[in-house]
Amino acid sequence: MLVHGVPETSAVWDLLVDELVALGHEKPLRLSPPGFGAPVPNGWAATLDNYTGWLVGELEKIGHPIELVGHDFGGGYTLNVAMTRPDLIRTWVSDVVGTFDKDYVWAGPGVQWQTPGVGEQAVAAMVAQSSEEMAAFLAGAGMNPVIAKRVAPGINSVMGGCIPPLYRSAVQPVLAERGKNLGAAAARPGLAILATKDDGVGTPEQVRRGAAHAGARVQVLEGLGHWWMTQDPRRAASQLSSFWSSVT
């Protein structure tokens, strides 16, 4: 089960899914969080707790423990599930373990989106761009250009309305407080992705510290950035496959 983040749609997983299938895995299911490729329910508050509860509900429908892989905010929801409902999963993978460290500091667009007024203006400017402009921006930030063209059309006003409240619900010390419970995630085998060119999800030291607390292995993806699953999907699929097969 694959869960993506911000500002993305499930298309971000396309190349990784193809590589996993090529390795002989069953085609992974993808979950699109409300507002990020899926409709927003009436009264949706779009907070970290709302999204974690949504993911718990979706996993409960599956009816058996699964391999859960989360990217960006999807990785945050994944960690929250691992800490609170390990019965729903067999293993977990997250690329944002470092953000739950006590010393993690938000940077980049996240700081803007967390700021009242500024965040709304930034999001409005983002969703006002054409799909072509957005695809070019995503590609320039490191996303595979083919995938950027697939993701861009889904970045709209509905998604934009969810971004500020989601980010504001995760202002520090919120994540740091949750990180105190990372030890509970050790109830299931975990894998912390450390993409060496991703400088927005914690330092390597923070990732390793969080992984140790969660009893998780660390998989270094040298030279890859935030969208590692689009940059070298074959390597990413191979590492995920090796992790899953090693768990008995």
The answer to whether residue 241 is domain-embedded is yes
| Average pLDDT of the segment spanning 161-185 | 98
Give the pLDDT of residue 220.
98
Q: Under a CB-based contact definition with an 8 Å cutoff, are residues 152 and 135 in contact?
A: yes
The answer to whether residue 154 is domain-embedded is no
The answer to whether residue 134 is domain-embedded is no
| Average pLDDT of the segment spanning 117-131 | 97
**What is the residue-wise DSSP string for 42-65?**
TT----HHHHHHHHHHHHHHH-S-
Residue matched to tokens 């993305």: 8
**CATH (domain of 238):** 3.40.50.1820
Residue pLDDT, tens place only, 79-113: 999 999 999 999 999 999 999 999 999 988 999 99
The answer to whether residue 117 is domain-embedded is no
Kindly report the pTM of this predicted structure: 0.97
| Average pLDDT of the segment spanning 131-150 | 98
Instruction: Say if residue 153 is preceded by a cis peptide, omega within 30 of 0.
Output: no
Instruction: Return the percentage of the chain with pLDDT > 70, whole number.
Output: 100
The answer to whether residue 195 is domain-embedded is yes
pLDDT-derived band of residue 206, with 50, 70 and 90 as boundaries?
very high
| Parent domain of 41 | 2-103+171-246
Give the pLDDT of residue 194.
98
Strand partners, 195: 221
Q: Going by DSSP bridges, is the β-strand pair 217-221/30-31 parallel, antiparallel, or unpaired?
A: unpaired
Give the pLDDT of residue 248.
80
What average pLDDT does the chain have?
97
Count: domains in the chain? 1
pLDDT-derived band of residue 63, with 50, 70 and 90 as boundaries?
confident
Please say if the pLDDT value at position 49 is more than 90. yes
